[in-house]
A and B are shown apart, each in its own frame.
Chain A
């Protein structure tokens, strides 16, 4: 048997280099882990926001409660500061402002006056408008939430905000209108 000769200094240098590589790898993995944890936390918050928004809209027992829920979603979950909710009433060509926050009469007067225009403004917003969220009831556009301004700390709308807008489109009108209809049904019985 032959014994291989190794230089102790070279071996030590190799071990040191290996150790440094491993330490770098550990640091990289730690950064990745922190990133993943942050992503998971954020995903959880986003899912929670959507779950709460939907469950509260569906669970509202009065029209006031439904409106308060929609306001809550717009203010606390999306971060809007100025908005108006417009709804068409039967036989009217111009929508009524159901509720608003921080919006002047002049801003409301400048808004589109029919459902087609509201639908179009989702892609082509009028000047001074941040977003137009159509409100659907049984596949029909019955109104819109028009966002005029975001909170100062909110620079722009993000994907999660658009996901909440989608929820509002599909469920807000049903939540607000059907509560009113349900109450009317009970009263007329």
Chain B
């Protein structure tokens, strides 16, 4: 069975980019969400193996969504990688404080993203 990845970003172009990078290598099942609230709902409903999430988003930002996912029994163990333009040290620290497993800054580099995804999916 293919691994399931939840991609969360309010930019359609970033979602398409991530789909192209991940889809070119492996046959992952990719699910989309466009804000933190939708991400939390989809993570609970779909139980993905990994979440790739932006930080700056409408309705609920990535930090808050991270916190909510960590606070829910059904999603607390899902690895979360924040993929964001916010690259300041304090942003990275805030990400880890809110419960992310890793932090990747944009613009996305294909090999970095793939290496991290494969590492978290144990491939």
- Bound complex: CA A38 to CA B17 (Å): 17
- Bound complex: CA A53 to CA B114 (Å): 21
Across the interface, do B110 and A44 meet the contact criterion of CB distance under 8 Å? yes
Across the interface, do A42 and B111 meet the contact criterion of CB distance under 8 Å? yes
Across the interface, do B108 and A152 meet the contact criterion of CB distance under 8 Å? no
Across the interface, do A38 and B111 meet the contact criterion of CB distance under 8 Å? yes
Identify which of residues 92-123 in chain B touch chain A, using a CB-to-CB cut-off of 8 Å.
Answer: 105-111, 114
Report if B2 contacts A (CB, 8 A): no
Across the interface, do B109 and A52 meet the contact criterion of CB distance under 8 Å? no
Report if A169 contacts B (CB, 8 A): no
Q: Give the contacting residue for B109; candidates A37, A42, A78, A81; CB below 8 A.
A: A42
Which residues of B approach A to under 8 Å, CB–CB? Answer: 11-14, 16-17, 20-21, 24, 85, 87-88, 105-111, 114
Interface string of A71-110 (1 = CB under 8 A from B): 0110111110100000000000000000000000000000
Report if A49 contacts B (CB, 8 A): yes
Residues of A within 8 A of B17 (CB): 45, 48-49, 52, 76-77
- Residue in A closest to B110 when the chains form the complex, CB atoms: A45
Identify which of residues 151-187 in chain A touch chain B, using a CB-to-CB cut-off of 8 Å.
Answer: 151-154
Classify the interface of chain A: helix, strand, loop or mixed: helix
User: Which of A38, A49, A56, A76 has most chain B Cβ within 10 Å?
Assistant: A76
Residues of A within 8 A of B11 (CB): 72, 76
Across the interface, do B13 and A73 meet the contact criterion of CB distance under 8 Å? yes
CB-CB under 8 A for A44 and B24, given A72-B11, A75-B85, A151-B106: yes
Report if A20 contacts B (CB, 8 A): no
Across the interface, do A153 and B108 meet the contact criterion of CB distance under 8 Å? no
Across the interface, do B105 and A151 meet the contact criterion of CB distance under 8 Å? yes
Residues of B within 8 A of A44 (CB): 20-21, 24, 110
Q: Give the contacting residue for B87; candidates A38, A69, A78, A151; CB below 8 A.
A: A151
- Distance in Å: Cβ of B116 to nearest Cβ of chain A: 13
- Bound complex: CA A56 to CA B13 (Å): 8
- Residue in B closest to A164 when the chains form the complex, CB atoms: B107
- Bound complex: CA A49 to CA B88 (Å): 24
- Residue in B closest to A161 when the chains form the complex, CB atoms: B107
Q: Give the contacting residue for A153; candidates B20, B24, B105; CB below 8 A.
A: B105
- Bound complex: CA A72 to CA B105 (Å): 15
